[in-house]
């Protein structure tokens, strides 16, 4: 029969391990790294470029995330590639962000301040997008970097990275609405793409769901 001391020792061990997981989420930069990795596999060098951190600093953060079993790594020659350890982590990250938006007024204010056209540009629902794509009524534009597109993208999406969009405008049809997407709710690239397209006379909207949320819904993903 378990004694009170046994139960206390068990709880201490349990919450110690939960604390390791919670500690991994305690750094803003580790949260950003996790957000990037939820899009797909990255090297340490790529993560350093995207976050503005040094390679050594990124490596330290990744070590903490790996110790918490949140990410895993594989080595390919001179490069180490990191990815999210389990699809459940991506689903948890999505729920974590949703909770933050619903409970923290500061986040809602930041979204309103930086995504001021959000209500107008993100009215497209997932089922509506699928219906429009099936009918051939819209063009789906992936404005993320090409390497992210190649690692995985929404079915039927065309790759036109935001920094290449202006020079690719003549290649886009004007007889169909263009739906742009990027990393999800917090990403401004699709918003910028929509603004550019509308300025040039295209009918365009933003789809706020990113690849991780799409995957979490059990929907198919294409790879190059």
| Per-residue tokens: 27 | 């750094």
For residues 182 and 36, the answer to whether their CB atoms sit within 8 Å is no
For residues 37 and 83, the answer to whether their CB atoms sit within 8 Å is yes
| Active-site residue, selected from the candidate residues 182, 191, 197, 211 | 182
Decide if 187 is catalytic.
Answer: no
Phi-psi region of 209 (alpha: psi -120 to 50; beta: other; left: phi over 0): beta
What sign has the CA pseudo-torsion 90, 85, 23, 186? negative
| Per-residue tokens: 48 | 């350093």
| Per-residue tokens: 97 | 């962000």
Q: Give the single-character DSSP code of 222.
A: B
CA dihedral of residues 204, 210, 213, 216 (deg, nearest 10)? 110
CA 156 to chain centre: 19
Separation between Cα atoms, residue 206 and residue 194, nearest integer Å: 6
What interhelical angle do 55-67 and 4-24 show, nearest 10?
A: 150
For residues 73 and 66, the answer to whether their CB atoms sit within 8 Å is yes
Which sequence positions are flagged as catalytic?
182
């Amino acid at each position: 029969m378990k004694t009170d001391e046994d139960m206390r020792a068990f709880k201490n061990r349990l919450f110690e391990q939960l604390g390791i997981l919670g500690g991994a989420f305690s750094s803003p930069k580790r949260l950003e790294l996790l957000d990037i990795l939820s899009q797909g596999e990255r090297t340490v060098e790529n993560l350093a470029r995207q976050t503005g951190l040094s390679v050594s600093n990124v490596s330290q953060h990744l070590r903490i995330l790996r110790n918490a079993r949140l990410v895993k790594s594989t080595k390919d020659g001179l490069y180490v590639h990191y990815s999210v350890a389990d699809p459940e982590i991506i689903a948890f990250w999505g729920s974590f962000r949703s909770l933050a938006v619903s409970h923290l007024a500061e986040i809602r204010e930041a979204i309103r301040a930086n995504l001021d056209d959000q209500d107008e540009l993100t009215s497209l629902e997932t089922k509506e997008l699928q219906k429009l794509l099936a009918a051939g009524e819209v063009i789906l534009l992936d404005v993320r970097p090409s390497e992210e597109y190649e690692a995985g993208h929404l079915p039927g999406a065309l790759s036109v990275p935001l920094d290449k969009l202006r020079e690719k405008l003549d290649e886009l049809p004007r007889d169909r609405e263009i739906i742009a997407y990027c990393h999800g709710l917090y990403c401004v690239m699709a918003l910028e793409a929509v603004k550019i397209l509308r300025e040039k006379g295209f009918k365009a909207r933003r789809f706020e769901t990113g690849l991780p949320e799409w995957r979490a819904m059990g929907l198919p993903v294409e790879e190059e």
